């Protein structure tokens, strides 16, 4: 048994120099079948819609490329607290991080495939022989089993594919993080608007209750008609309907924020909500930069490119399947017919058994796998280009909203001032009998509508700033 073990090592004919030569050849051949990657051209315009295209304007736009970190953009203490809570407790973000960790583990597996696995082996057997006795055999040593020598880059391509998948999940977690911060900010702004709208409705409801009492007093004294009385009642009930809708919207907004936070709304934040107004919120202007900046700013575009790199590596693995696959099984250790003879002089030996498998007839399986890999790459290119186009459209929409909503906010403020002045003058005219009740009630209704509209436009303007910050890649 001892001689047999040693003779296998001698007949294999592979010394340390041969093993080093094979290893070097494997490293030189790694990724040999993987196509050279070239980033596809971005299928978007060179400028944002409405941006000056003169050469003098370009440097000024490019100079505004610097990012704004989220702690500087979301400067309000309450909002910062909410965002930090969401980042720590949100389940969607937690799942995204776990997916990334799982992809990291898969990458570790593929990296390990590039190296031989060394195992310790101990074996013992007893069997009857032809002479009627018992033959014993004992072996102990170290072994490398079926290690693939990657001459044609199949294993390296699979490792590159796993690496790209891991980086893609990493970028996906960044996308979830930015989206979460944006959603928390928008929901928080919505709650501030709801509080402000309810305060306006409650004040209007109180005013209309007083107006109804006045109209009823005039009706009881014959100075107003029954129609006037019902008009005042209708206006009062309309304010009650609006208040009930806003209270429902406020409750649903808080429920949405609780889901984003992953826990109940902190009491100190809840207390500050009632006393804070949208006019107190200040969000800095976000520099838009150039459209090409999206390739480095937006994590979803970087994720799509990593998917593209993964598909490219998959082509390399599919091409390598057409070539021979070389594996190596080797061992070194001691063998003896007696347990006490293990590890003694003369019991040592080694084995070296390379194996080459060359596909000859597979009914077109490898060709179909290569065709599938190439189509997958083309699909990844289309997805990458679509992600760029979608990002361009989102930023363009947000930039258009920033300009038009600023103008709308200014006009809405002017309209409210005009409606407030109109109500004051109409009330004076009504008290002195120069205006009828219909004009008076219409002035109240118009002012209330303008107050509500101003809050909603201001909310839309602030939320659009958050959207622009998100679409430009966050910070």
* Cα gap 27→153, rounded to integer Å: 8
pLDDT digits (tens, 9 = 90+) for 380-392: 999 999 999 999 9
Half-sphere CA count of 190, side-chain side, radius 13 A:
20
Place of tokens 């406020």: 250
Q: Please check the confidence at residue 465 and state whether its pLDDT lies above 80.
A: yes
For the stretch 430-442, what's the b/e string if a residue is b when 16 or more beta carbons lie within 10 angstroms of its beta carbon? beeeebebeebbb
Q: Please check the confidence at residue 37 and state whether its pLDDT lies above 50.
A: yes
When mean pLDDT is compared across 118-122, 183-187, 285-289, 328-332, the lowest value belongs to: 285-289
Beta bridge partners of residue 126, listed in sequence order: 136
pLDDT digits (tens, 9 = 90+) for 392-437: 999 999 999 998 999 999 999 999 999 999 999 998 988 888 888 7
The predicted model gives 34-61 an average pLDDT of 70
* pLDDT for 17: 53
Q: Please check the confidence at residue 53 and state whether its pLDDT lies above 60.
A: no
Q: Please check the confidence at residue 30 and state whether its pLDDT lies above 80.
A: no
Q: What is the DSSP letter of 338?
A: S
The CATH architecture to which 31-114+150-323+376-471 belongs is Up-down Bundle (1.20)
Q: Please check the confidence at residue 439 and state whether its pLDDT lies above 70.
A: yes
Helix (H, G, I), strand (E, B) or coil at 125: strand
Tokens of 151: 């001459």
pLDDT-based confidence at 62, cuts 50/70/90? very low
Helix (H, G, I), strand (E, B) or coil at 308: helix
User: Angle of helix 365-431 relative to helix 299-320, nearest 10 degrees?
Assistant: 170
Q: What is the DSSP letter of 42?
A: P
Q: Which DSSP helix (H) or strand (E) runs through 352?
A: strand 348-357
* pLDDT for 290: 81
Q: Which tops the pLDDT comparison, 26 or 360?
A: 360
* pLDDT for 93: 93
Under 8 Å CB-to-CB from 253, ≥6 apart: which residues? 187, 190, 191, 194
Residue 48 sits at φ, ψ, to 5 deg, of: -75, 150
Q: Where are the domains of the chain?
A: 31-114+150-323+376-471
- Category of 146 on φ-ψ map: left (φ > 0), alpha (ψ -120 to 50) or beta: left
Which has the closest alpha carbon to 110: 172, 146, 154, 173?
154
């Amino acid at each position: 048994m001892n001689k047999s073990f040693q003779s296998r090592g001698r007949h294999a004919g592979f010394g340390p120099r041969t093993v080093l030569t094979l290893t070097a050849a494997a490293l030189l051949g790694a990724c040999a079948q993987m196509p050279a990657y070239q980033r596809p051209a971005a299928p978007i315009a060179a400028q944002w819609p409405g941006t000056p295209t003169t050469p003098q304007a370009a440097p000024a736009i490019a100079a505004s490329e610097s990012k704004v970190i989220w702690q500087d953009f979301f400067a309000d203490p309450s909002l910062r607290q909410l965002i930090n809570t969401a980042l720590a407790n949100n389940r969607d973000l937690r799942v995204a991080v776990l997916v990334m960790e799982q992809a990291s583990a898969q990458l570790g597996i593929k990296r390990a495939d590039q190296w031989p696995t060394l195992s310790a082996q101990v074996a013992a057997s007893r069997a009857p022989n032809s002479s009627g006795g018992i033959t014993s055999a004992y072996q102990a040593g170290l072994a490398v089993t079926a290690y693939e020598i990657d001459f044609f880059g199949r294993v390296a391509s699979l490792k590159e594919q796993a690496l790209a998948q891991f980086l893609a999940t990493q970028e996906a977690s960044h996308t979830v993080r930015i989206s979460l911060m944006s959603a928390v900010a928008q929901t928080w702004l919505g709650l501030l608007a709801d509080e402000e709208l309810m305060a306006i409705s409650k004040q209007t409801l109180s005013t209309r209750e007083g107006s109804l009492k006045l109209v009823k007093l005039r009706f009881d004294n014959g100075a107003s008609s029954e129609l006037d009385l019902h008009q005042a009642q209708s206006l009062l009930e309309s304010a009650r309907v609006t208040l009930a809708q806003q209270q429902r919207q406020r409750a649903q907004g808080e429920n949405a924020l609780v889901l984003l936070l992953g826990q109940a709304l902190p009491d100190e934040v809840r207390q500050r909500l009632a006393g804070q107004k949208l006019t107190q919120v200040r969000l800095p202007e976000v520099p838009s930069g150039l459209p090409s900046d999206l390739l480095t700013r937006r994590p979803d575009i970087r994720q799509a490119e990593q998917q593209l790199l993964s598909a490219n590596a998959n082509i390399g693995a599919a091409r390598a399947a057409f070539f021979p696959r070389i594996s190596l099984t080797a061992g070194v250790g001691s063998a003896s017919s007696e347990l006490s003879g293990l590890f003694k002089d003369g019991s040592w030996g080694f084995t070296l058994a390379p194996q080459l498998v060359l596909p000859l007839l597979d009914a077109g399986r490898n060709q179909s796998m290569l065709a599938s890999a190439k189509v997958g790459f083309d699909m990844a290119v289309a997805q990458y280009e679509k992600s760029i186009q979608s990002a361009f459209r989102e930023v363009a929409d947000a930039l258009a909203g920033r300009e038009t909503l600023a103008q709308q906010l200014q006009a809405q403020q002017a309209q409210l001032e005009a409606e407030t002045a109109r109500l004051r003058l109409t009330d004076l005219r009504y008290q002195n009998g120069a205006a009828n009740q219909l004009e008076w009630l219409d002035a109240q209704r118009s002012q209330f509508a303008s107050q509500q509209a101003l809050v909603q436009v201001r909310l839309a303007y602030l939320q659009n700033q958050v959207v622009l910050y998100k679409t430009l890649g966050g910070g």
